[in-house]
Structure 1
Amino acid sequence: MPKVFFSRCKPHGIDAVCVARECERLFFGYPMRKQGAHYDRHSLRSCIVDVTCDEATWAAEHAASDRLRQYNQNRNFVSEIEHGSIALVPRPAEGVIYCGYVEGGFELVNDPTWYDIWESIWRKHKSEDPDEYWIASEVAQTWKVDKFRPVPVPRIPVWIRRSLFGRSTYGIVRGYLDLDPYKTMQDVLGIDGFLPRSWTTDPREVERRLITDVTPDAFEHLMVAILQLENPEEFWTHVGGSGDGGLDGLGADASGEVVGLLQCKWAYDGEDLKLNTQWASERHRPRTILAAASHRDGVAAPPGIEFFDKAAVAQLLVKHAEALPQARALRIGNRR
């Protein structure tokens, strides 16, 4: 079954997306060198192990490697990508994610015709001899792509793009709850703008928009704004950051006494919360609130925690839509 997957296309930290777009290839790094082989950029199959090789060949080459786990991960990853899969190359600095449909299977290209372009880019960034780093092999493990379409980042749903900006340099975008990444990306690539959206007050649709359009950071600010509207006599502020003990929001009364502690989870699976209550005085126990934009049905917060689940958040978002700028962007409310 076709997948949605991504690769950073930044071998040795050098941006190779222009090469990828020029030759309509998605590059996958971490090539495994054959033991005892000499580098020949015109005959890479003589010195690089093809991750799609038979089990006997793989076992022999892999046994001599010092990166056993990494190369097994690479082989397993490649085996999941098939014709028709959708490849993503995130470039947030350009404001886009390049997207394309895979044509055919994985290929270790023996003598990449785009090597000269890649070498010229390498020399602009590095003073070292490119042959010393076997740089041709970094752009030889590829999938052919029909073309790379630059899709503005905001058009990619949050639940998909959150996978792209972590520490991993490649990976498969998995489904989330009842959302299908492949169907979603087909819809995104099928039009030249945002997917059609009407104003709504339907709680279920609001829940859906929370995970398609609201980033984790934006969700924190949204919840602080909602709690301020729900408690107009209190003073709510966003605090999240180093040293804040896991807190994302803080509520105080007119005297400055802390009356509320907020932690937000874009996705909550029922795990324990590690909240530092250093903000609260010993003589007054504040409300401790957990807000979640998404979670499995039936999940509960730990004892003593006030839980704003996705249904409660959606209801409050509808309730305060006229006062929330975020609601306008989400098209939540009664406007026509």
Structure 2
Amino acid sequence: MGYRIVVAGATGNVGREMLNILDERQFPADEVVALASRKSLGTEVSFGDTTLKTLDLDTFDFTGYDIAFFAVGSDATKKYAPIAAKAGCVVIDNSSLYRYDPDVPLVVPEVNPEAVDGYAKKNIIANPNCSTAQMVVALKPLHDRAKIKRVVVSTYQSVSGSGTAAIDELWDQTKAIYNPTDSKPPKVYPKQIAFNVIPHIDVFLDSGDTKEEWKMVAETKKIVDPSIKVTATCVRVPVFVGHSESINIEFEDFLDEDEARDILREAPGCMVIDKREDGGYVTPVECVGDFATFISRIRQDSTIDNGLNMWVVSDNLRKGAALNAVQIAETLGNRVLKKG
């Protein structure tokens, strides 16, 4: 007997990817329902060889369903997630709404699978920010060996993190470079994204950090260890899919780069591609469609006593969102629900 599954926001980038991954990983589902807002009602989406017609999120009855994947943004989640949770359906939420709620576990299954056990307080589990998810997958096995004191990270985040409209904006602006008569003013981003980089993701806070940068700090502390100090600079780059990160780590104890490489090779979710030659590293174009978090350019930082640098790349629509959500459901099933 399998699960009865709901995907809310099934017509969006992340919702469609959730359906793809549920099928690819052969998640034990007896029934999968696709939900959307009224404006997308009736839109058809694919689930393996099956075509699903979206139903209305606003009127859907979650009673009798086991797990609901939410990919609808914070406003809609705030309205509908408590309804699903009250009906007995465990919500796995991709928005930022519940990530910092002490009664809601924030889970990356390779890092803190035991945290799913706390789902019952609100019947909700939070999925972390895309940039945080791939980083902590790489940090945790190293932290277990040498204990991380401080992380300095710069991100290079693809436009798919902003949704379909951002993908279209990059495409339109790129074409307009060669045909200026087709140029349009930026709408999704405050400045041109084509052939440019923008050091601004989410809103600015009083500290001068953006909220995206703050998320990486707060979520790393909640998922891995509250004692880790994190400082981040998050940058939007003209890449369609795939986030990249340059990470500098300071440890309490010395960790040799060769040992770090060996640890990461054995770590769940990690794939080390690290050759000191032309092309001996992974770029975002190469990670698209893959489940792994790729790690390259592992090397000692000689400016501090116990430092390492590394380059981390992952498909943000997968590990940064949809894949992690499905992995949470798998972990929940194995640890708690015991079904399928």
TM-score with structure 2 setting the length: 0.22
TM-score, L = length of structure 1: 0.22
Q: More strand by proportion, 1 or 2?
A: 2
Higher relative contact order (CA 8 A, sep 6+): 2
